[in-house]
Chain A
Amino acid sequence: MNRFSYARPGSVAEAVREVSTNPAAKFIAGGTNLVDLMKYNVERPTHVVDLSRLPGLKEIEETADGGLRIGALVSNTAAAYDERVKERYPLLATTLLAGASPQLRNAATTGGNLLQRTRCYYFYDSATPCNKREPGSGCPAKTGLNRIHAILGTSEACVATNPSDMNVAMAALEAVVKVAGPNGERSVPIAEFHRLPGDAPERDTTLGHDEIILGVELPEPRFTTHYTYLKLRDRLSYAFALVSVAAALEMDGDTIGEARFALGGVAHKPWRVPEAEALLRGSAPGREAFAAAADRVLQGAVGLEHNAFKIDLARRAVIRALSQAAAGTPQSQTDKRIQ
């Protein structure tokens, strides 16, 4: 790990000042991702600014429009077991429990999870080129080992995926990320928070270097009965998704009223296609409608040498997840048999 100085600011404004004058400064909260990357010399901050004691960011509170605001420093454990989250956003609660291990969830924060970096082997290996780690150096993943890589929204420069489970549920729930920076606060819809790699894969998100996540706001709860988070991975627990699907439906009698679904493990950001959801609205829930939505969401998917299986896996995962959501039988995160 490289050497660095350490600061523990007492306010958001002070924290912003600490990094705004130093492009090599980094914020730390839970540290589960940053410290790991620092041990691999992937992240090499010269100044680490500890946000973990900032006041007012550890609460889960009601918002004026009937939603819930989860502070950036709320741990993944605290969010997953919060009674309001469990009751009003069960999709988010179950998704959080699909991720990482209890130890990591205790330390990892809501804000940090949003900023979790890719698990691409080449990004982690500082002996190899990587456009995300070292812009312009090249992408060995495209022609190398790419079983875990993206099938959608890739670019010449990068085929990495976003590894987070939480982000996938946040996308389906249309969360809004609250951010503070030198020029005040702003709100970023989750769809605009993470970005596709394009020709700047070093940027995972649209967050500025000197901006701090204050929290995430969830809109008024809607999908409390018909939801699921289906995560498919190489071992049954404590592994990143090869493909995952967060699905949420609102039933209108025998037909689907509202539909949301997002995919994880397939792109540089949670993959959501409104046109695919539109195909479901007004349809009778069933294999035909779900397959059409799956085909639409995967339109344009391209497999690399080792990950082409993800296209078919994702298609079947979407159909299965929508079936689970429609039936009101969410996937258990303990009993891994897929219902």
Chain B
Amino acid sequence: MAELDLPTRQGFAPDRGTPDGLPDEIDITLTVNGQRRSLHVRPWTTLLDLLREDMGLYGTKKGCDHGQCGACTVLIDGQRMNSCLTLAVTKDGAAVTTIEGLASPDGELHPMQEAFVEHDAFQCGYCTPGQICSAVALVQEGHARTREEIREHMSGNLCRCGAYTNIVDAIEDVMARGTAR
């Protein structure tokens, strides 16, 4: 895929708060959901804001914006992290997978997405992209085997609707089927 030059939000509306003498946007490269992108970012732009505001990837959610709720969880070089606490500029060269990147190009859902649907593992759905990214990483990590361990290893993702029981069911199901990618 050709590299895309995306204008940033700041590019459309210059930030008047920028003191004199600070550098303009910094050029970075990210591979987002398999597509290599050349991007221009301000040093203070978080990966979460870059994904949502500049790249139009609204699947990743902003909950607390302080690393407490996990709604912004994405995979960075395969590891789950809170994109709200990640300055985009520090991840130059990294591969980022968001909820939009889990399904196959033909639209077939990721097994974890299928399992969340099957087990009704959400109510309002706001935390779900973070829950699913986190759950995909949990299976890949291989440290959790029992329900207790799944709960502990999902503790960084809060669900205010309280769908925890079904979330654990969904993850357990995927692990049992051994279908995690």
Interface contact B67-A106, CB-CB below 8 Å:
no
Return the CB mask of A38-74 against B: 1 if under 8 Å, else 0: 1100000010101010000000000000000000000
Docked CA distance A335–B149 (Å): 8
- Give the A-B contact count at a CB cut-off of 8 A: 92
Q: How many angstroms from the CA of A334 to the CA of B70 in the assembled complex?
A: 19
Query: What residue in chain B is nearest A50 (Cβ atoms)?
Result: B90
Segment with Cβ contacts to A, from B31-39, B107-115, B119-127, B133-141: B133-141
Tell yes or no: A282 within 8 A of B by CB. no
Q: Across the interface, do B86 and A31 meet the contact criterion of CB distance under 8 Å? A: yes
Q: Within the complex, which residue of B19, B46, B138 is in contact with A3, where a contact is CB–CB below 8 Å?
A: B19
Q: Tell me if A32 is interfacial: C-beta within 8 Å of chain B.
A: yes
Residues of A within 8 A of B15 (CB): 3
Tell me the residues in window 238-261 of chain A with beta carbons closer than 8 Å to chain B beta carbons.
238
Q: How far is the CB of A173 from chain B (nearest CB, A)?
A: 23
Q: Is the CB of B90 within 8 A of A52?
A: yes
A103 to B: closest C-beta gap in Å? 5
Query: In the complex, which residue of chain B has the Cβ closest to the Cβ of A32?
Result: B85
Which residues of chain B have C-beta atoms less than 8 A from A82's C-beta? Answer: none
CA of A38 to CA of B22, assembled, Å: 18
Residues of A within 8 A of B73 (CB): 103
Please report the C-alpha to C-alpha distance between residue A102 and residue B75 in the assembled complex, in whole angstroms.
12
- Give Cα A236 to B82, complex, Å: 21
A21 at the interface (CB under 8 A from B): no
Is A284 in contact with chain B by the CB < 8 A criterion? no
A193 interfacial by beta-carbon distance below 8 Å: no
Q: Which residues of A contact B82 (CB under 8 A)?
A: 32, 103-104, 107
Q: Is the beta-carbon distance between A101 and B89 smaller than 8 angstroms?
A: no
Task: Judge whether A39 and B80 touch: CB under 8 Å.
Answer: no
A interface with B by C-beta (< 8 Å): 1-6, 8, 28, 31-32, 35-36, 38-39, 46, 48, 50, 52, 77, 81, 100-104, 106-107, 237-238, 333-335
Please give me the 8 A-B residue pairs with the lowest Cβ-Cβ distance, nearest first. Answer: A101-B156, A6-B43, A237-B155, A238-B155, A106-B79, A103-B156, A334-B152, A35-B85
